[in-house]
Structure 1
Amino acid sequence: MTATPTAHPDTARMAWATGLTAFAAVMLTIAGVLDIFRGIMGIAQDDVFVATRDYVFRLDLAGWGWIHLILGILAVIVGIGLFQMATWARVAGVVIAGFLILANFLSLPYYPVWSVVAIAISGFIIWALCVARPEEPLEEPPASAGATPRAL
């Protein structure tokens, strides 16, 4: 009776890393597209946003719109790079997601619920890009002790 072979731990780790990178790519692309729409709404001075007085980080609504539009475009570009498993895209993805967190924190008074959701999404993107390392070389499986090829 033979035992069924199990997946090699490195193969499982590579599958996990690829899956997390794909998750980050999808989420960063979605966050980028939503930020593009949010930027367009801010530039158009849509009535969706709440005007808050006496906020420390006060910018014109169009200014916030341009910031979100630019970050959204960059996020989509980096998300596409993540689909290709590019190392530059992993680094840029962490940086862009960090900037998205800052921009959403600073725009909390203008759109509070979505800002908190976007901060959480960006946090998951950073986590997925930092925890998975698909570019690490796979190690050779350890040879079993005392195993020598048998002659027939």
Structure 2
Amino acid sequence: MSEHQQHYGDVADVNDVSAEWRLARSPGRSTRHGVVRSGWIAFAGAMMVLIGAFNVIEGLAGLITDDYYLVAPTAVLVLDLTAWAWLHTAVGVLVVLTGAALLGGAQWARVVTVVLLIFNATAQLAFLTVQPLWSLLVIGLCVVVIWAVIVRGGEEIG
């Protein structure tokens, strides 16, 4: 055995380890890095449930108490406040259900998530004059979840 092999081991072993490491680090492999990346879908699902709950609360607040939202008659776009309350409630329920499906691993939920959150962010934008901080919070959450599903969602383990 040469002195080189005594100090550094067999060079072929080092190359094999290097090749295994590169293979394990490639996308779609079951590695620690892959587990972290797949967590984006779990994050998106949990945030969908939260965003949906926010919408349901926002809608129910308008339905239960007529004077909860105080605005000028021309401040809300297109619909009156009762219609907006129903819209927020219905969208909120759909968002919660889609978030649960996303957490369950349903592939269709990714597309529905993006569509629902684009619609939700647009509705919140129209509702901005009524609840500015709340609407901005929900719009920001929508953007983060859309990013998580589109940019990071295709990176799965396994």
Q: What's the TM-score bracket when you normalise by the shorter of the two chains?
A: 0.7 to 0.9
Gaps of 5+ in 1: 139-152
Aligned to 1:116: 136
- The match for 1:30 among 27, 50, 69 is 50
Gaps of 5+ in 2: 1-7
Letter of the aligned partner of 1:114 in structure 2?
W
- The match for 2:59 among 21, 33, 39 is 39
What SS is found at the alignment partner of 1:85?
A: coil
Equivalent-residue separation in structure 2 for 1:81 and 1:54 (angstroms): 38
Deviations 1:10-69 (A, max 9, x none): 335532332100110011100001101111111224544231343361421111000100
Which structure exhibits the higher relative contact order, with contacts defined as CA atoms closer than 8 Å and separated by 6 or more residues?
2
Q: Is 1:52–2:67 an aligned residue pair?
A: no
CA shift in 2, pair 1:77/1:123, >3 Å: same
- Which stretch of structure 1 is more off in the superposition, 62-71 or 9-18? 9-18
Give aligned-pair identity as a percent: 31
Paired residue total: 137
Letter of the aligned partner of 1:131 in structure 2?
V
Q: Please provide the CA RMSD for this pair.
A: 2.5
Letter of the aligned partner of 1:92 in structure 2?
V
- The match for 2:83 among 34, 38, 63 is 63
- The match for 1:72 among 80, 92, 95 is 92
Letter of the aligned partner of 1:107 in structure 2?
F
Aligned to 1:87: 107
Equivalent-residue separation in structure 2 for 1:81 and 1:32 (angstroms): 13
Equivalent-residue separation in structure 2 for 1:12 and 1:52 (angstroms): 54
Deviations 1:97-121 (A, max 9, x none): 1111011001011111100111000
Moved over 6 A (4+): 1-5
The TM-score with structure 2 as length reference comes to: 0.76
- Which stretch of structure 1 is more off in the superposition, 3-12 or 99-108? 3-12
